Amino acid sequence: MNAAFPPEQLAPENAPDTSGKRPGLTILIAAPRGFCAGVDRAIEIVERALEKYGAPVYVRHEIVHNRYVVDELRAKGAIFVEELDEVPGDAPVVFSAHGVPKSVPAEAERRNLMYVDATCPLVSKVHRQAERQLEKDRHIIFIGHDGHPEVIGTMGQVPEGKITLVETVEDVANLPFTEEDELSFLTQTTLSVDDTHEIVAALQARYPQIVGPKAEDICYATSNRQAAVKELAPGSDLVLVIGAPNSSNSVRLVEVAERCGTTAKLIQRASEIDPAWLEGVGTIGLTAGASAPEKLVREVVDKLAEWREIDERPILVTEEKMTFKLPRQLTD
């Protein structure tokens, strides 16, 4: 005769789980993510300037678009200002990674200010391209977002009236030029790859004579981070992008995820995560804009681990090995 099972082994099928185990959550972590070579370089420029010249070192605008980074540098002795007239005559000043109009270093030289230019070398490349197009007497059509510091800096490389900003395909249709005009186009480095291709196609269709850059102006880091989101978003219930609202490349990552049909949220810190976002969510895609440090990625993972059992899975699209040299004045 078979022995009866003990009562505790005959729990009904729908009995509540009293094990205390939290529900699982898979986190697909984008690679690459976070800091790019230009951001690394810009931050190191401020840190080296503080070491070499001592505090305070003034920085014109946010060195990169990330509050955490700015606050860390401020704690070390950096003072962030909007314009050069806020900089004392005997203090060093650093120009941000986004680039500046030609009028800014000209003003610094007029005042004999000691300045260090932290413009990303890939942005500087676009500045040189603008100068070459001007030398060839071509009007420049610049694809970018109005008011962004990089756009202001690039448009400020050429005289007023020699460059025209477009933001959308609709803007292209309203341009006043003809097929007889000598035209060229350049782009901001942190745009949506897909949107930019559409605008370029519209320009080329309307102006077959238009001349573009030999290589795409959108930087490697922007392209790689968008490609990684395209890989992880379709398998995610929610995508979290760590970045600032004024960070162009971070906002583009949200848009890329949403175009894949996945809800996406832009957050600056883990404290901004609403637990209600996790209702019905089994898989989260996680990435960070090019100005966000890895510390903030780990902070988000730790916060999610307070609510769920975490299974981290990297989504590797490519490995980045790009580095940029520091200005000679900080290495001599």
Interatomic CA distance for residues 168 and 233, integer angstroms:
25
Q: Where are the alpha helices (DSSP H) in 148-283?
A: 149-155, 169-173, 193-206, 220-232, 248-259
| Residues 281, 270, 226, 146, Cα dihedral to 10° | 120
Interatomic CA distance for residues 102 and 96, integer angstroms:
14
Q: How many residues does the chain have?
A: 332
Which positions are annotated as active-site residues?
150
Question: H or E stretch including 44?
Answer: helix 37-53
Assigned token pair, 275: 């637990």
Starting at the edge strand found earlier in the chain, the sheet holding 263-267 runs 263-267, 238-242, 283-288, 24-31, 309-316
Residue entry with tokens 């477009």: 166
Residue 307 — φ and ψ, nearest 5°?
Answer: -110, -25
Starting at the edge strand found earlier in the chain, the sheet holding 163-166 runs 163-166, 139-143, 183-187
Closest by CA to 304, choosing from 282, 275, 263, is: 275
